[in-house]
């Protein structure tokens, strides 16, 4: 199975690969820049090459970059919108240049302007950014639906995809904590949720899973991650998710509140629950 966690890029690319190896991971996620600030450092290509050598030698799965949280591609405020677009564009170009396969982002918040308005803003931004010549795929993350968040339903995700010209470069990342909070009952009806995803979006679009437990109850529209087995989703449901025929080959990235050693234990736990066949 492909399993790993979110790692800090602060000490460089090779360090992430070494950290991943040290905890038994064979994939990982990192922020394309400082998650809250907007500064980006020039990329050290030697460091990237060192990372890639480690990934190749150890048969890693696809590495996922996550856009900073401060972006809002659905904003009506032209400053916020412009800043969000330029960060997404710069980071997308950088990730393409170093051949990172996936770039995940939170679709955005419409701030009262309405879902349709927000969806159009997001699609317009993506149409400015994607030229069709890229190799890095952009992933839309499913959201819990707090406040005016877009992406809480499969329909919303699909309508963003439909409005993007080069949408062969758009995929989806399911976050188990977020979908459960959004009202998709992966605990009692995983099969139904997957069928609905296939129906509304198409399973061919599903490229990655953020594997998190949740501190909040079902359908709460709140976003608080819990460590695996310690939340409202629970170990049993998580076991079903990682083994489901439609999901089991996908890369799983933990975003649980844990340090490296805690993630090592979670990875060990999930590997133990994964049905090797
Ligand atoms: Fe996220
Ligand atoms: Fe997530
Ligand atoms: Zn979250």
**Per-residue pLDDT reduced to its tens digit, 138-183:** 999 999 999 999 999 999 999 999 999 999 999 999 999 999 999 9
Question: Could you tell me whether strands 213-214 and 225-226 are parallel, antiparallel, or unpaired per DSSP bridges?
Answer: antiparallel
Whole-angstrom distance, CA of residue 267 vs CA of residue 129:
35
Does the reported pTM lie above 0.95? yes
What domain range is 220 assigned to?
3-273
* Residue 198 pLDDT class (50, 70, 90 cuts): very high
Helix (H, G, I), strand (E, B) or coil at 229: coil
Cα of 255 vs centre of ligand 1, distance in Å, is: 8
Residues with Cβ within 8 Å of 202's Cβ and at least 6 positions away in sequence, in order, are none
Residues with Cβ within 8 Å of 235's Cβ and at least 6 positions away in sequence, in order, are 228, 229, 273
Q: What is the pLDDT of residue 38?
A: 59
Number of H helices, E strands in the chain: 9, 12
Cα of 254 vs centre of ligand 1, distance in Å, is: 11
Whole-angstrom distance, CA of residue 157 vs CA of residue 142:
7
Cα of 54 vs centre of ligand 2, distance in Å, is: 25
Cα of 50 vs centre of ligand 3, distance in Å, is: 30
The number of domains in the chain is 1
Here the CATH number for the domain that contains residue 185 is 3.20.20.150
Taking the CA of 209 as reference, the closest ligand is 2
Cα of 277 vs centre of ligand 1, distance in Å, is: 30
């Amino acid at each position: 199975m492909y399993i790993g966690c979110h790692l800090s890029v602060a000490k460089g690319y090779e360090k992430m690969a070494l950290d991943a190896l040290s905890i038994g991971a064979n994939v990982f996620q990192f922020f394309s820049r400082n998650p809250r600030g907007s500064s980006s450092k020039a990329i050290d290509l030697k460091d990237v090459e060192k990372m890639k050598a480690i990934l190749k030698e150890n048969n890693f799965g696809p590495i996922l970059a996550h856009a900073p949280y401060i972006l809002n591609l659905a904003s009506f405020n032209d400053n916020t919108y412009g800043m969000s677009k330029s960060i997404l564009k710069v980071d997308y170009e950088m990730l393409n240049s170093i051949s990172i396969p996936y770039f995940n982002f939170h679709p955005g918040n419409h701030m009262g302007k309405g879902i349709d308005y927000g969806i159009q803003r997001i699609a317009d931004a993506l149409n400015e950014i994607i030229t069709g010549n890229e190799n890095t795929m952009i992933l839309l993350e499913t959201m819990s639906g707090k406040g005016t968040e877009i992406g809480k339903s499969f329909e919303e995700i699909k309508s963003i995809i439909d409005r993007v010209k080069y949408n062969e470069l758009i995929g989806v990342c399911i976050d188990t904590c977020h979908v459960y909070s959004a009202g998709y009952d992966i605990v009692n009806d995983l099969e139904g949720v997957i069928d609905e995803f296939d129906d509304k979006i198409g399973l061919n679009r599903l490229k990655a899973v953020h594997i998190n437990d949740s501190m909040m109850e079902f359908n709460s529209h709140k976003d608080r991650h819990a460590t695996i087995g310690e939340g409202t989703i629970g170990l049993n449901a998580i076991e079903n998710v990682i083994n489901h025929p439609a999901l089991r080959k996908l890369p799983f990235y933990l975003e649980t509140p844990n340090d490296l050693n805690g993630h090592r234990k979670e990875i060990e736990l999930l590997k133990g629950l994964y049905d090797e066949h």
